[in-house]
Amino acid sequence: MDTDLTFSSRRSPVVCLHGCVASSQPLASNIGLDVLKRGGNAADAAVAIAAALAVTEPCSTGPGGDAFCLFYNGDTGEIRGINGSGRSPGAQTLEFLESRGYTADAPPSPFDALNVTVPGAPACWCDTVQLFGSHKEVLIGALELAEVGFPVAEVTAHHWANGVAALRDAGKELGGDLLIDNHPPKSGQVFRNPALAQTLKELGEQGKPAFYQGRVAQAIVDVICQHGGVMTLDDLSSHDSEVITPISTEYKGVRLWEPPPNSQGLAALLLLNILENFPLKALGHNSSDYIHVLVEAVRLALTDALCYLGDPDHVTLPLETLLDKSYSRQRSQCISMERAMEGVEPGLMTGSDTVYFCVIDSQGNACSFVNSIYMAFGSGLVPKDCGFSLQNRGANFSLHRNHINCVSGGKRPYHTIIPALLTASAATSEKPQLRAALGVMGAFMQPQGHVQVLLNMLEFGMNPQQALDAPRVYVLYDQKTGEWLVNLEEGVDQEVAEELKKRGQKVNWPIMGRMCCSFGFARSLGLALLPLALCCILANLLLLFPMGETTYIQENRLASYIWYFGGLGGGGLLMLLPAVVFITLGKCNCCWNESLIMCGSVLAAVVGLVGSSYCFVMSGLTLVQGPQCFTSLGWTYPFADQGGRYLLQPEIWSQCLQPVHIVEWNVTLLCVLLGLAVLEFIICLLQLGSGLVNAICRPCCYKQEYSLNA
């Protein structure tokens, strides 16, 4: 046995003879393989997978979103692509939005109908098959999947539940079309979407007009206008994809190809050019020096991209200058190994749900493809009888008047989705030889992921599976605080995280594969708290009725502190509030705004601490006081002056003649209440600490759009 194999390499790369597909859903991958087996090529299979993913992952993708693809011709080595991003409605100008009271500081909500841009994916699918495919039937597999139904995968069910709020917003009565009995499907539950099947059938039979001019177009306009949007049938019918020539840069014998603006492929190339100026292999994979350089380079690349990247039909972009190696050398000099940059300015000052998949066929053609509706379920708007939700890509527009990405009628926004291809550089091959079709999911993580996966293979000798499995770094700009956050996946050493903090980086470590652990923890605490509260109520009720008799409560013969209802009120009814709040947390979305929800759990935990403390104090006082009972001296408190010492002298308990065994009854129930109160206090204290940490540090996931997973 080879003992040199690293753990990650135990997941061997898949090696194929006659073509290969990669996607996030086995069902979709099988549909793509079926197309290849029937004689289709990489482009045909890619579109088949795109449609299948629209069925199996409607929270991430669908006909209501956008798409980009790059296609490598195995015969000629030529690389072309399609920009399938949609434009804003013609009437949606900055002046229009300002007339509705929106500003750069107060833009429309991400889920507002005003953020719906024309869906470009269906046209991209059709054009991909038309330009690059073999014209085989490609939608039949997805159509059948939607009609018959499919068992929802565990991870998909998780994301489906996390994004369901977008479908349930006020007035979105058709959101239930993507739910089962108005609830997200659970893992293993079969989901059917006959409406989407009909949409795919019409698209397959009639092509683009079925979507952009038919009943689907009318349904899209209707639902948008019903919710305050301004899209028209003309906006839809005038849509067209754009055939693109990719932009590229060389790095140590290979060339990375990315889509040009309005996509952020530029950011990946800028990042790679900057990193070329550092001895990355010598720094060591995921060492503090390596990650520090990577983070600083990402900050520079994204700053430039956000400043200069817009719709080339509306603005002039300095692409040649930005991709010049001398420019990247100049930018790399801004990086200090000792300290994070205090501020990052663009280098040419003149005055974040998605699916990725790829296919390579037996002829050597490759299709790298990304399809997305932006955030989970996009805008949450579902056109009637169509079976998909509409994207909210317009949320990427700026409302700053002079910004290159400022909103305007008929304009394409800054786009995060970027498929990539890797070839041998022109210097070493006449016809560029394909090396890889690659991509990752996750908004601004995408250019960072491209480069990290590429460097893992080129600099650190990893095979493709290792390169994908390796822990990643995700740099994100927090617009609220103005800080660059450095998120380190689980697997990066803690010492590295601490060293990065010393250099001034704002580090979140570790970022887990699923970032909702705090919510699941709260729910577990709530489920534990609920039976304790019910037991407290029961114990207090038994104290009110010694031996099941009602006589003593009617004659006011109970210990005085029992009437303060420590168990019934403090440990019981008052404890139900935090229990319900904690349990409800387990059903919340996992996004930036969950910090507010965690604040609510903190308040509920405080209520629980007060209630459990009250129960403990009242039970303790009642126990020390002792019971009121009938003795030879009449009705009295025979143990009240002993300070609780009677508890250690059971031989004197017989002084109480009535109620029979009242001392044993009270002592047992009060000790139970004390124990329950202690457990309740500990549970609420745990959630108080967890809630404070999560509310302040926000280690919740950054929505599916900002997922770190490939």
User: Is 191 strand, coil or helix?
Assistant: strand
What does the pLDDT read at residue 451?
94
* Same-domain status, 424 and 559: no
Report if residue 678 sits inside a domain: yes
Nearest by Cα to 491 from 454, 527, 523, 452: 452
Cβ 666 vs Cβ 638: under 8 Å: no
* Same-domain status, 547 and 631: yes
Out of 56, 249, 303, 354, which one is annotated catalytic? Answer: 354
6 is catalytic: no
Q: How far is CA 164 from CA 177, 380, 524, 621, 704, in A?
A: 12, 8, 22, 49, 12
What is the C-alpha end-to-end distance of the chain, expressed in Å?
Answer: 30
Cβ 465 vs Cβ 11: under 8 Å: yes
* Same-domain status, 533 and 459: no
* Same-domain status, 209 and 74: yes
* Same-domain status, 457 and 581: no
Report if residue 64 sits inside a domain: yes
H/E element, 72: strand 66-72
Interaxial angle between packed helices 594-625 and 662-697, expressed in degrees from 0 to 180 and rounded to the nearest 10: 160
The torsion angles phi and psi of 332, rounded to 5 degrees, stand at -65, -25
Nearest by Cα to 251 from 71, 436, 83: 436
| Strands across the sheet containing 434-438 | 247-251, 254-258, 420-424, 434-438
Distance CA 447, CA 305 (A): 11
H/E element, 254: strand 254-258
Number of domains in the chain: 2
* Same-domain status, 554 and 694: yes
* Same-domain status, 682 and 536: yes
* Same-domain status, 55 and 191: yes
* Same-domain status, 435 and 544: no
Cβ 582 vs Cβ 523: under 8 Å: yes
| Interacting residues of 463 by C-beta distance below 8 A, sequence separation 6+ | 9, 13, 457
The whole-number mean pLDDT for each consecutive block of 10 residues of the chain, a chain of 710 residues, reads 49 86 94 95 97 96 96 95 96 96 92 96 97 91 96 92 85 86 93 97 96 96 96 97 96 94 93 96 96 95 87 87 94 94 57 76 95 92 96 92 92 92 77 89 87 94 91 86 88 92 90 51 84 93 90 88 87 90 60 56 91 93 93 92 92 92 94 94 90 60 32
What does the pLDDT read at residue 170?
64
Cβ 305 vs Cβ 266: under 8 Å: yes
Nearest by Cα to 381 from 49, 65, 157, 706: 65
Report if residue 463 sits inside a domain: yes
Do β-strands 483-489 and 366-372 pair in parallel, antiparallel, or remain unpaired?
A: unpaired
What does the pLDDT read at residue 350?
36
Q: Which of 445, 467, 489 is the last residue of a domain?
A: 467
Distance CA 360, CA 32 (A): 11
234, amino acid identity: D
404 forms bridges with which residues in the sheet?
A: none
* Same-domain status, 692 and 570: yes
Helix residue ranges per DSSP H, 163-287: 165-168, 194-206, 208-212, 215-226, 233-237, 265-275, 280-283
Report if residue 289 sits inside a domain: no
Nearest by Cα to 394 from 371, 375, 376: 375
pLDDT digits (tens, 9 = 90+) for 15-43: 888 899 999 999 999 999 999 999 999 99
* Same-domain status, 427 and 521: no
Report if residue 57 sits inside a domain: yes
Report if residue 483 sits inside a domain: no
48, amino acid identity: A
The label of the residue with tokens 């204290």 reads 685
| Interacting residues of 633 by C-beta distance below 8 A, sequence separation 6+ | none
Give the dihedral sign, CA 551/557/559/563: positive
Q: What percent of the chain has pLDDT over 70?
A: 91
Give the dihedral sign, CA 211/215/216/220: positive
Q: What's the domain range around 616?
A: 517-704
What does the pLDDT read at residue 10?
61
Tokens of 623: 């126990």
Count of other CB atoms within 10 angstroms of residue 434: 19
Report if residue 280 sits inside a domain: no
Long-range contacts of the stretch 681-684 (C-beta < 8 A, 24+): 681/608, 681/609, 681/612, 681/613, 681/616, 683/525, 683/528, 683/529, 683/532, 683/608, 684/529, 684/578, 684/605, 684/606, 684/608, 684/609, 684/612
* Same-domain status, 532 and 671: yes
User: Is 437 strand, coil or helix?
Assistant: strand
Count of other CB atoms within 10 angstroms of residue 479: 7
What does the pLDDT read at residue 242?
96
The label of the residue with tokens 């470009």 reads 120
Report if residue 326 sits inside a domain: no
Distance CA 614, CA 383 (A): 54
